[in-house]
Amino acid sequence: MANTLTGLIPTIYKAADTVARELVGFIPAVFKDSSADEVAKDQVITYPIVAARAPADITPAATGPNPSGETLGTGTMTISKSRSVTFPWNGEEQKSISQVYDKVLEDQFAQAMRALVNEIEVDLALAAKRGASRAVGAAGTTPFATVNNFSDFANVIQVLQDNGSPMTDLHLVLNTIASNKIRSVQASLFKANEAGSDELLRTGRLGIVEGLDLHESAGIVSHTKGTGASYVTDGAHAAAVMDVLLKTGTGTVLAGDVVTFAADAVNKYVVNVGVTAPGTITLGRPGLRVAVADANALTVGNTYLGNWAFQRNAIHLLTRTPLMPEGGDSAEDSVTITDPLSGLSFQVNLYRQYHQVSYEVGIAWGTKAVKSENIVTLLG
Residue 310, in any domain of the structure: yes
Do residue 296 and residue 325 come from a single domain? no
Residue 183, in any domain of the structure: yes
pLDDT confidence of residue 127:
98
Section 25-50 average pLDDT: 75
Taking the C-alpha atoms of residue 294 and residue 308, their distance in angstroms, rounded to an integer, is 32
Do residue 202 and residue 263 come from a single domain? no
pLDDT confidence of residue 49:
66
Q: Which domain-ending residue is among 270, 302, 334?
A: 302
Q: Which residues contact 291 (CB under 8 A, 6 or more apart)?
A: 236, 237, 238, 239, 263
Phi and psi, residue 339, nearest 5°? -75, 120
Q: Which domain-ending residue is among 243, 269, 302?
A: 302
Residue 149 pLDDT greater than 50, yes or no: yes
Q: Which domain-ending residue is among 251, 274, 302?
A: 302
Residue 145 pLDDT greater than 90, yes or no: yes
Residue 337 pLDDT greater than 70, yes or no: yes
93-104 pLDDT, tens per residue?
999 999 989 899
Do residue 123 and residue 243 come from a single domain? no
Phi and psi, residue 353, nearest 5°? -125, -170
Do residue 203 and residue 352 come from a single domain? yes
- What is the band of 60 on the pLDDT scale with cuts at 50, 70, 90? confident
Please provide the DSSP assignment of 309-323 as one string: EEEGGGEEEEEEPPP
What are the beta bridge partners of residue 300? 259
Residue 196 pLDDT greater than 90, yes or no: no
Residue 73, in any domain of the structure: no
Do residue 135 and residue 109 come from a single domain? yes
pLDDT confidence of residue 14:
86
Residue 19 pLDDT greater than 90, yes or no: no
294-334 pLDDT, tens per residue?
999 999 999 999 999 999 999 999 999 998 888 889 999 99
Do residue 200 and residue 310 come from a single domain? yes
Residue 290 pLDDT greater than 90, yes or no: yes
Strand ranges for the chain from DSSP E: 31-33, 44-49, 73-78, 81-90, 134-136, 170-174, 208-209, 212-216, 232-233, 243-247, 258-261, 264-273, 280-283, 298-300, 307-311, 315-320, 333-338, 345-353, 356-369, 375-378
Do residue 276 and residue 196 come from a single domain? no
* CATH code: domain of residue 134: 3.90.1690
What range defines the domain where residue 147 resides? 12-48+78-223+303-380
Do residue 242 and residue 191 come from a single domain? no
Do residue 110 and residue 192 come from a single domain? yes
Section 63-86 average pLDDT: 80
Taking the C-alpha atoms of residue 107 and residue 85, their distance in angstroms, rounded to an integer, is 13
156-168 pLDDT, tens per residue?
999 999 999 999 9
* Percent of the chain clearing pLDDT 70 (strictly above): 89
Where is average pLDDT lowest: 83-92, 202-211, 341-350? 202-211
Do residue 242 and residue 330 come from a single domain? no
Total of domains in the chain: 2
Residue 192 pLDDT greater than 70, yes or no: no
Highest mean pLDDT among 85-94, 107-116, 229-238: 229-238
What are the beta bridge partners of residue 88? 358
Where is average pLDDT lowest: 81-90, 201-210, 346-355? 201-210
pLDDT confidence of residue 358:
95
Residue 2, in any domain of the structure: no
Do residue 355 and residue 261 come from a single domain? no
Where is average pLDDT lowest: 3-17, 45-59, 332-346, 354-368? 45-59
Taking the C-alpha atoms of residue 227 and residue 105, their distance in angstroms, rounded to an integer, is 47
pLDDT confidence of residue 3:
53
Residue 137 pLDDT greater than 50, yes or no: yes
Residue 136, in any domain of the structure: yes
Do residue 218 and residue 245 come from a single domain? no
State the pairing for strand pair 333-338/44-49.
Answer: unpaired
Residue 196, in any domain of the structure: yes
Residue 6, in any domain of the structure: no
- What is the band of 241 on the pLDDT scale with cuts at 50, 70, 90? very high
